[in-house]
Amino acid sequence: MQKFSLAEKVAIITGGASGIGKSIARNFSASGAYVHLLDIDEAAAKTTVEEIRKEGFRAEYHLCDISVQEQVVNTVTGIRKRHPINILVNNAGIGLVGNVEQTTEADFDRIFRVNVKGVYNCIYACIPPMKSEGGGVILNMASVVSWVGIPDRFAYSMSKGAVLTMTFSVAKDYLEHNIRCNSISPARVHTPFVDSYLAKNYPGREQQMYDQLAATQPIGRMGKPEEIADLALFLCSDEASFITGSDYAIDGGFIKINN
């Protein structure tokens, strides 16, 4: 029997159109899951779904702003009418650079709406169908900033700290319903977001700045989206059935060796 199989599982992945979410979607579908992507970038989501289908796997996308509870509930309800919901991956999130003085109220509210309320909305919508189906798996994307301080990430750190503690709370509350809840805390991962950030803020010096950012990981490089996706696959598979209420750093040694 194939290890880490998600055959006959239905997985909802937020922010599944690009970066880490896209890698998770491709990995899960290749392992047998019927993948539903929730994203606000319709063009990118459509492209990702087309790529997955060309490989012979099953996927759909849903245009959904996770910060709006009504949209999330309606989307999840629509999926639930057609199949059970076995897995939720709360991957969608946004970043912000700045300390507390540089963070406006609008900045703070925007980070909170997506990174905290968005995770809450998706868990809120998925818990009832998971309970009715006898269980499920929730995986949240936290961050190394959930555990250690790094400069100029005030609001982002706040949001990812909330994701971490939501993970612990949900794991505790739904043990008797056979719902497992864990999180992953990546350090820097090389995604299109990193490339666009460098191009916007360091034109002409992209490679130099990339190398500097990569060097902050003791292992000497950034992570790859596929590496995060492999860990996600394990944590959402039956092989991880004894794991709940845990956070997994995948950080090139950043938390334990740098701090």
Instruction: Provide the annotated active-site residues.
Output: 156
Report which residue type is found at 81. K
Are the C-beta atoms of 92 and 24 separated by less than 8 Å? no
Are the C-beta atoms of 236 and 135 separated by less than 8 Å? no
Are the C-beta atoms of 170 and 137 separated by less than 8 Å? no
Beta strands in the chain (DSSP E): 10-14, 34-39, 59-63, 87-90, 136-141, 179-186, 247-250
Residues sharing a CB contact under 8 Å with residue 153, sequence separation 6 or more, in sequence order: 96, 97, 98, 145
CA angle 56, 38, 166 (to 5 degrees): 120
Alpha-carbon span 104 to 132, nearest angstrom: 42
> How buried is residue 39: exposed, middle or buried, by Cβ count under 10 Å (0-12/13-18/19+)?
buried
Alpha-carbon span 40 to 42, nearest angstrom: 6
Which residue in 200, 189, 198 sits closest to 229, CA to CA?
A: 189
